[in-house]
């Protein structure tokens, strides 16, 4: 994974935009969702962790109405006017920045032109929210440069609306929230309905365990269509359940005690609803387990989540199932599951730190032998959320 350096990026900024002075540097991390999959758009609970990989951005006002961008990753320079912000097919990564600018303007803020240099090291297409990190970094930079002092939760909402309304991805708010609000040695317990959140201590390292994320190498090609289908199925399940539970507004309001009603739904709808109901319950149990320092219970909940995503929500794939199985069968591993929207992407596992070299070797060999794909294996720590440059960047 590429190591990022503010010193390097600030030097690159001076080279790229020699006439622009006094740049500000910001950082926003990606995230891995530990538990709570496909619960966010059902008004439920999620439990993501900001990771020590993300987007670094250096920018300054340029006294024009034009935003000039340079990506160190793509070695690409481009511009757009704040007077007419439209999406582009040519450099799609710029749409996330364009979208955030568009949402600031739509909210009534006056923006001035900016020069921006950026670089990231979140694996793209792996379900680790490189897009949310980009949106959050942009929102934080705009806020700082213009001196608006917008509440951080409102910045999260601006970033999410950029993805929903401008980029056109109907994501929940979890990714942007985790990127903005993360904290070292903590994971984020978020109520997606109220946006109330709590930072929960993660005793992984002190108990000798590491959070290991494995990229299956499978592109998440079915996500868009199947994601929308799952949302519609969840909404349909709610409509049918309202006959017996008239006060419910979302699957979040359906509890474990209501599972007999859920199981009586048409088979596919029963599966979808059952996953969401049990997944919300798993998140709540996971919080209790961590507060009690019970990592064994936490690991069992990871395994149960994967089984539910595989069989009830049907968003896994053979490669993710293989990775989860290999990890679960490795001695000492407490739990493993697919993470993210599914149909490819990553798994997350809780693995003994002392066994990491052997774990990596065995997973790589066995997975490659079965799939002919070489997986990417990362060890992440719970890390600080988005911030203005006050400390060195995380070095993964």
Closest CA relative to residue 278, chosen from 311, 248, 245, 249: 311
CB 206 within 8 A of CB 293: no
| 50: three-class secondary structure by DSSP | strand
CB 145 within 8 A of CB 24: yes
Torsion of CA 382, 388, 390, 395, to 10 degrees: 40
Q: Going by C-beta distance under 8 Å and a sequence separation of 6 or more, which residues neighbour residue 40?
A: 46, 171, 172, 173, 174, 192
Active-site entry in 43, 143, 175, 253: 175
Closest CA relative to residue 156, chosen from 169, 138, 170: 138
* Residue 105 vs residues 92, 110, 229, 318, 389: alpha-carbon distances, Å: 20, 6, 32, 44, 25
Task: Count other C-beta atoms under 10 Å from residue 257's C-beta.
Answer: 8
Q: What are 387's strand-pairing partners?
A: 27
SS3 for 349-366 is EEEEHHHHHHHHHHHHHH
Is residue 294 annotated as a catalytic residue, yes or no? no
- Token pair for 17: 């935009």
Tell me how far apart the alpha carbons of residues 306 and 288 are, in angstroms, rounded to a whole number.
Answer: 20
CB 197 within 8 A of CB 49: no
User: H or E element: which one contains 324?
Assistant: helix 318-328
Half-sphere exposure of 304 (CA within 13 A, CB side): 20
CB 96 within 8 A of CB 30: no
Q: Tokens 């793509």, residue?
A: 74
Q: Which of the residues are catalytic? A: 175
């Amino acid at each position: 994974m590429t190591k990022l350096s503010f010193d390097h990026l600030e030097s690159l900024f001076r080279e790229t935009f020699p006439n622009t002075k006094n740049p500000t540097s910001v950082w926003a991390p990606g995230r891995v969702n530990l538990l709570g999959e496909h619960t966010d758009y059902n008004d439920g609970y999620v439990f993501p962790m900001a990771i020590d990989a993300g987007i670094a951005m250096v920018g300054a006002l340029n006294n024009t109405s034009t935003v000039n961008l340079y990506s160190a990753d793509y070695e690409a320079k481009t511009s757009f006017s704040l007077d007419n912000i439209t999406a582009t097919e040519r450099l799609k990564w710029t749409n996330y920045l364009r979208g955030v600018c568009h949402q600031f303007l739509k909210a009534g803020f006056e923006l001035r032109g900016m020069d921006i240099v950026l670089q990231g090291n979140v694996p793209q297409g792996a379900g680790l929210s490189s897009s949310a990190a980009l949106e959050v970094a942009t929102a934080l930079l705009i806020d700082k440069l213009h001196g608006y002092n917008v509440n951080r939760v409102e910045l999260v909402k601006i970033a999410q609306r950029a993805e929903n309304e401008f980029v056109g991805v109907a994501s929940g708010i979890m990714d942007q929230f985790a990127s903005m609000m993360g904290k070292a040695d903590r994971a984020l317990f978020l109520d997606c309905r109220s946006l109330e959140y709590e930072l929960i201590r993660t005793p992984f390292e002190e108990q000798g365990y590491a959070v290991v994320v494995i990229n299956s190498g499978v592109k998440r090609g079915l996500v868009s269509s199947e994601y929308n289908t799952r949302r519609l199925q969840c909404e349909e399940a709610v409509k049918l359940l309202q006959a017996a539970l008239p006060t419910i507004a979302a699957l979040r309001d359906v509890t474990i005690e209501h599972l007999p009603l859920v199981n009586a739904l048409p088979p596919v709808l029963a599966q979808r609803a059952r996953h969401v109901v049990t997944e919300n319950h798993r998140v709540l149990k996971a919080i209790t387990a961590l507060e009690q320092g019970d990592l064994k219970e936490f690991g069992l909940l990871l395994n149960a989540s994967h089984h539910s995503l595989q069989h009830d929500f049907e968003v896994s794939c053979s490669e993710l199932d293989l990775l989860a199985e290999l990890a679960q069968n490795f001695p000492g591993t407490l739990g493993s599951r697919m993470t993210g929207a599914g149909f490819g992407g990553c798994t997350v596992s809780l693995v003994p730190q002392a066994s990491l070299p052997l774990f990596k070797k065995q997973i790589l060999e066995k997975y490659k032998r079965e799939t002919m794909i070489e997986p990417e294996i990362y060890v992440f720590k719970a890390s600080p959320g988005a911030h203005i440059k006050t400390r060195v960047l995380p070095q993964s």
